[in-house]
Structure 1
């Protein structure tokens, strides 16, 4: 069997070296992908392909495909980060008091490094019977479209199970809410502000809509269950050009977070109902509702057979029962789940540090999770 002890220790070094690359910027996204590619080409026989190399957001897929495989397993993660604004030394790779500090170390370069180490170990083992894929994206924090493209265009097959290394505090995340964005536009009539009655104020229309929507939002939040609370929030209000002109146009941008099992279109219908109610009271009010983006929810049943096996492996590897939880935000697993693929999140990072000025990760967690990932690969694919 592959002598993996030193490789687990190197997973810390992988994290540190990845953390010193500014992958908020396009050049850094290319650099982190190149870093992973070099390791895989130099130290494994895996097939490695970089996609969208001529764009600002490349992504990498590596694969191990033995003959006769009937099961396909995907390790997936992202190497892009949010803005380092507000951090003193976001890309210095500083280790102090047992923590590696810097932008992206928790979300999720520590988890990606653990997956990388596990994949490298599996690639150098004998007896592989099932297919293993490793994908690293660079657009998750702002789009999450690369994994969807990979599955839609056949760059990845429809795998049987996926694990994503988001910062979960070493817990298994099996669900998160979906997210949709909506725009509501209002069309009035301009006039001079000295004779406003000759116009139709689109901002007033938007204000009427917001007041009615607040009542519906309260009703929506009463649908809370074990997966969270559905929410709807007006995040942007725009309209008008000058104080002395009655504004003929206004727009609201609304964030919708819907529960696993729900359809975002039911919230689109709610917005349309609110608009219709406004129009009954104010016949001159004209408006439209449209969904401008949708990011699918995630729900993987705890009784999923592969997940039950993973649960037992984690317990055996860590010496404690696997814990289940939900993710507050959104992740790429939502898109993967949309293709009917059971998907979970599992990583060494503590999500409470994600996107914050003091982002950090406890370094000893990284090799422990790397080894656990490896044990999962050994049990399911060898």
Structure 2
């Protein structure tokens, strides 16, 4: 006899299950990056049972959308994968004297709460005030070239067409608009090797980095207002290397620079800005090179857009949410690259993402669901 195949993973009824219990069910399904097939199958099956939605799939990314002919369309998105489990599943409900009921376990913060809220709304808000595309995607916690949202943007950009997008990343129930961009550059100097007892016969490449480090240390980062939010930039040395041996003058050295830039700049403008900051420091250095090794552009929040403004009003009224800029980079930038302004809004403290004690107050899940419902179905 051969073993019977394992039963397919399933989710409880999306329309009747509380978002907290749905979060728990999602967390307890296998979903570490690269192993999303079971949870994607379960999500697809649950969504296909809803006749008011058109369901699309690419790999382990599943999208569902209304087609009501509304004047505007929004995307509500979230990734379905997690980082590896560290003995923190299955989930547990616990009590915390400070915040009340708390859901513990991998994915409770990053970001099954946001996914559960989106699935529940997809099932229960059948006549939203705007057309909605719900996007659930794979491989967010690994290399960027595997990211399911990026894959959809390349293969099926029309699937993500919208006037506004919300990414359910953890924000502790506050609205974080857009995100800063990030760029890494290597500033490399060259010298000439010599015995350190006869240093005058060489040229010290490490010493040539001194004016570069001084320029970075003296630099005062800007705060830039974009769509009503104040984005604080940062320009810093984050790594340095050079040297051959303890008795040799180094002939090469490099400092790695990270620039976190406000979303009013694109990558070309960000690189030009860094070069301008370092121009005087580099002016007298021989054979210095600046190489961009990594860049991800930021995202404008678009809070001046009618749809976005209505969302912010609903979120603030429903939960008292604060509206802040997002300093770190998130997948909202992928929407921005498609011309769709976006914000981050989801339950869970982002400082607990990936932690062994990952946990989320259940009230945040409920509050985020209430805020989104108030926006999507204001008359309900």
Q: TM-score range by the shorter chain?
A: 0.7 to 0.9
Shift of 1:189: 3.2
Shift of 1:115: 0.7
Alpha-carbon spacing, 1:136–1:292, altered in 2? closer, same or farther (3 Å): farther
CA distance in 1, matches of 2:250, 2:320: 60
How many residues get paired?
Answer: 358
Shift of 1:231: 0.5
Superposition RMSD in Å: 3.4
For 2:106, the equivalent position in structure 1 comes to 103
Q: Secondary structure at the match of 1:26?
A: coil
CA distance in 1, matches of 2:279, 2:312: 49
CA distance in 1, matches of 2:243, 2:112: 44
CA distance in 2, matches of 1:191, 1:30: 58
CA distance in 2, matches of 1:242, 1:359: 44
Deviations 1:179-237 (A, max 9, x none): 2222222233344555444433333333442223222x2x2x25466524210122222
Residues 1:79 and 2:86 are matched in the alignment: no
CA distance in 2, matches of 1:297, 1:32: 30
Q: Which has the larger share of helix?
A: 1
CA distance in 1, matches of 2:336, 2:245: 47
Which runs of structure 2 are paired with 1:1-382 in the superposition (5 Å)? Answer: 7=15, 9-21=17-29, 23-27=31-35, 29-42=36-49, 46-51=53-58, 53=59, 58-66=60-68, 68=69, 70-82=71-83, 89-97=87-95, 98-122=101-125, 125=126, 131-141=131-141, 146-155=148-157, 156-215=159-218, 217=219, 219=220, 221-223=221-223, 227-273=230-276, 276-282=279-285, 285-314=286-315, 318=318, 323-379=322-378
Which runs of 4 or more aligned residues in structure 1 lie more than 6 Å from their structure 2 counterparts after TM superposition? none
Shift of 1:73: 1.9
Scaled by the length of structure 1, the TM-score of the pair is 0.78
Alpha-carbon spacing, 1:39–1:214, altered in 2? closer, same or farther (3 Å): same
Scaled by the length of structure 2, the TM-score of the pair is 0.79
Alpha-carbon spacing, 1:296–1:276, altered in 2? closer, same or farther (3 Å): closer
CA distance in 1, matches of 2:133, 2:40: 16
CA distance in 2, matches of 1:346, 1:8: 23
Shift of 1:117: 1.2
Deviations 1:225-256 (A, max 9, x none): 65242101222223344445443333322221
Alpha-carbon spacing, 1:254–1:280, altered in 2? closer, same or farther (3 Å): closer
